[in-house]
Amino acid sequence: MANIQDLPKYHHHLITEMITMMSESEKNNLEQELSALDLEEIKALYEEVYVNRHVAAPAGEVTDVAAEVKRDMSDARIQELEQLGLEAIQAGRFAALLMAGGQGTRLAHKGPKGTFSFDGISLFQMQADQLLRLNEQLNVTVPWYVMTSDINHHETIEFFSRHDYFGYPDSAVTFFKQPNIVALSPAGELLLNAGSTLLTAPNGNGGVFEAMAATGIYNRMNKQGVTHVYLNNIDNVLVKVLDPVLCGLAVESNADVTTKTIAPLEAESVGRVIMVDDKKRVMEYTELPEGMENTFKNANIGIHIFRLDFLQEASQKELPYHLAIKNLAQLDEDFEVVKKETLKFEKFYFDIFQYAQSFCTLQVERHSEFSPLKNKEGRDSIETARQALLDNGIL
Ligand code: UTP
């Protein structure tokens, strides 16, 4: 599809207007980008995810996930798991995987979210410090994989370099990029970004598994002797990176997926970890069956351990796209940069659970383990995150 005139009408309205005002080189770039797209596929995605979207009730029996609750565990049990976890980490069986490819539109911090700092300590450094302490304690070097995206890859690496990798051995840190996918106007049109190229956005944190395959990370982990991958977000300021207790549970249970949860607040709009028949699933609060909103006692906080062999196989399989509507900067018809509500297509990492056979869950205390930095103000904000860091003696 090399010629702009050949675009299905559906998609090209805005761009055909704008292209008449572009320089030759801008036009050529754009045509090249367009020729790499499968527009029919994008059209189908738009129709499925946006035009005909509906929330289907889960087919199957929905029950709460069985979880070990840390508060109810004996000290001996906790120590047993911790010991098991530490031994496995020391034996090099764990890799840490940080998902930091998001756009952080709600926080609107200039730069990757991990560069956001509290009293001069960035979120990246907070996670690096924890891994460094483990490395020292166990005399190992945990491999640390950091997923970025087109929008923040270079800035992330530059930030690590400028801070001397926070003291982490740089050979043990691997950055890899997740894929981007086009973003569309609500009318289904392709859009342009400030550089007059197609507006694209990271394809959601579920892009992590295909990106690992594409960049040879599974093979690399296998060579490193890794058997388990510990995944977490960038924005939970209280995250325990490579928590030995959770690691111990993953080793003991040998489950494909081991998850850390917290008890949700009433009507809290966080995903619930549930079972649909014999599969673990994360369901948005709004998707829960009517009348059962407060039945489920485990909220997803984005901390999971996967067996590497499970991930490697499951990464070959498809994950669905979901709709996200975000305020993204783009060009309007007058070539002015404006921020508008835009349709983003996102994969979610937890959709990989459907391919797993065995699951295990640990519920922990919110006040010491979960405080996400999502917004500038209000709920899950700079202020609440700072307070959580202070309460836990981290600041
Ligand atoms: P969020 O769902 O909070 O998205 O990400 P976000 O893009 O960071 O922020 P908003 O919604 O625009 O304000 C949860 C975790 O998933 C990662 C984020 O970096 C964060 O650690 N993520 C999200 C990715 O790695 N890639 C993505 O495409 C989206």
Whether 91 shows a pLDDT value over 80: the answer reads: yes
Reported pTM: 0.95
Residue minimizing CA distance to atom 18 of ligand 1 = 102
Rounded Cα gap, residues 178 and 210, in angstroms: 8
Residue 2 lies in a domain: no
Which amino acid, residue 43? K
Whether 181 shows a pLDDT value over 80: the answer reads: yes
- Measured from the CA of 99, which atom of ligand 1 is nearest? 25
Residue 350 lies in a domain: yes
Strand positions, DSSP E, the chain: 62-64, 68-69, 94-99, 117-118, 121-122, 144-148, 173-177, 180-182, 200-202, 228-233, 257-262, 272-276, 279-283, 299-307, 322-331, 337-346, 359-364
Mean pLDDT of 89-112: 96
Q: Best of 106, 235, 348, 377 to mutate for ligand 1, by most ligand atoms within 8 A of CB?
A: 235
Rounded Cα gap, residues 304 and 125, in angstroms: 21
Residue 121 lies in a domain: yes
**Interval 152-177: pLDDT, tens:** 999 999 999 999 999 999 999 999 99
Q: What is the pLDDT of residue 2?
A: 36
- Measured from the CA of 101, which atom of ligand 1 is nearest? 25
Write the DSSP assignment of 159-171 as a string of letters.
HHHHTGGGG--GG
Name the average pLDDT for the chain: 93
Rounded Cα gap, residues 235 and 371, in angstroms: 8
Q: What is the pLDDT of residue 4?
A: 45
**Interval 67-87: pLDDT, tens:** 999 999 999 999 999 999 999
Q: What is the pLDDT of residue 13?
A: 63
Rounded Cα gap, residues 343 and 185, in angstroms: 6
Is residue 302 within 8 A of residue 232, CB to CB? The reply is yes
Residue minimizing CA distance to atom 23 of ligand 1 = 102
Residue 38 lies in a domain: no
By C-alpha distance, which of 286, 235, 231 is closest to 94? 231
Pocket of ligand 1 (CB under 6 A): 99-107, 113, 147, 149, 178, 202, 204-205, 207, 233-235, 326, 374
Residue minimizing CA distance to atom 21 of ligand 1 = 233
CB atoms within 10 A of CB 247: 24
Q: How far is CA 326 from the centre of its chain?
A: 16
Residue 58 lies in a domain: no
Look up the domain containing 214 and give its range: 67-269+298-391
Q: What is the pLDDT of residue 1?
A: 33
Whether 210 shows a pLDDT value over 50: the answer reads: yes
Residue 340 lies in a domain: yes
Give the domain CATH number at 112.
3.90.550.10
By C-alpha distance, which of 48, 33, 37 is closest to 8? 37
Residue 338 lies in a domain: yes
Mean pLDDT of 305-333: 95
Residue 286 lies in a domain: no
Residue 378 is encoded by which pair of tokens?
């209000």
Mean pLDDT of 3-23: 65
Angle between helix 24-35 and helix 9-19 axes, rounded to 10 deg? 160
Going from the Cα of 206 to the center of ligand 1, the distance in angstroms, rounded, reads: 10
- Please tell me the total count of domains within the chain: 1
